[in-house]
Amino acid sequence: MEIVLLERVEKLGQMGDVVKVKDGFARNYLLPTKKALRATKENLARFEQDRAQLEAQNLERRSEAESVAGKAEGLTVVLLRQASDSAQLYGSVSSRDIAEAVTDAGVTIDRKQVQIDRSIKELGIHAIKVALHPEVNVTVNVNIARSEEEAELQADAKNGAVPVATEDSDEEAVAVEEFFEDAALAPSEQEDTEEAVEEPAADATAENAEETT
């Protein structure tokens, strides 16, 4: 099917471009969402008549999206979910879940703006593309964890932070220190023994000298 685009569509074209697409893609997506019109003579004439108004509306929406992008870019939201020891979720995280979490964080978006091919089914931090406007995209981080503590650990690992020492590691450090303290004492004990051996020898020499005198 040949269509005329009413706005920019990624990997397809800019506003006003006349392109050929598969019939199903046009009928199921482009035409219902008003991103395009059939490229008939009447529709092309209508588009040219409304073009200035469409471009003005698009510019206004893009400016609003760019304003929101400043708040949304790099935003991290935490979603708590149950999961197995192998990090597989008991369920999944959908575009609706992500949209609600981002909106709760102060940036209002719609689930249709969340660009994921399928639901997320693993723990971890996932970089998700959000289309605020056909010409304005941002990336938000979705931190999926079983608890707030696990979410913090995942965030620290992503940022390259040094892990905090645990009680086990503290005990191990103490054990190592005790080992080195004993090792350090060994040479001094040997020196004390040598001094103890030398002192009687010195006394014996003094006694021999007195007897000679």
At 204, is the pLDDT very low, low, confident or very high (cuts 50, 70, 90)?
Answer: very low
Q: What is the pLDDT of residues 41-96, one digit of tens each?
A: 999 999 999 999 999 999 999 999 999 999 999 899 999 999 999 999 999 999 99
Residue 163, SS3? coil
Q: What is the pLDDT of residues 146-176, one digit of tens each?
A: 999 999 999 999 887 644 433 344 444 444 4
Q: Residue 28 gets which letter from DSSP?
A: I
Q: What is the pLDDT of residue 117?
A: 85
* pTM strictly above 0.75: no
Q: What is the CATH number of domain 76-159?
A: 3.10.430.100
**How far is residue 77's CA from residue 81's CA, in Å, rounded to a whole number?**
13
Average pLDDT over residues 195-206: 47
The answer to whether 87 touches 52, Cβ cutoff 8 Å, is no
2-69 against 76-159: fold identical: no
pLDDT of 190 strictly over 70: no
At 144, is the pLDDT very low, low, confident or very high (cuts 50, 70, 90)?
Answer: very high
Q: What is the pLDDT of residue 10?
A: 87
Positive or negative, the CA dihedral 47, 48, 49, 54 is positive
Q: Spell out the CATH class of 2-69.
A: alpha beta
The answer to whether 15 touches 6, Cβ cutoff 8 Å, is yes
pLDDT of 196 strictly over 50: no
Provide the residue ranges of all domains of the chain, joining segments of one domain with +.
2-69, 76-159, 168-213
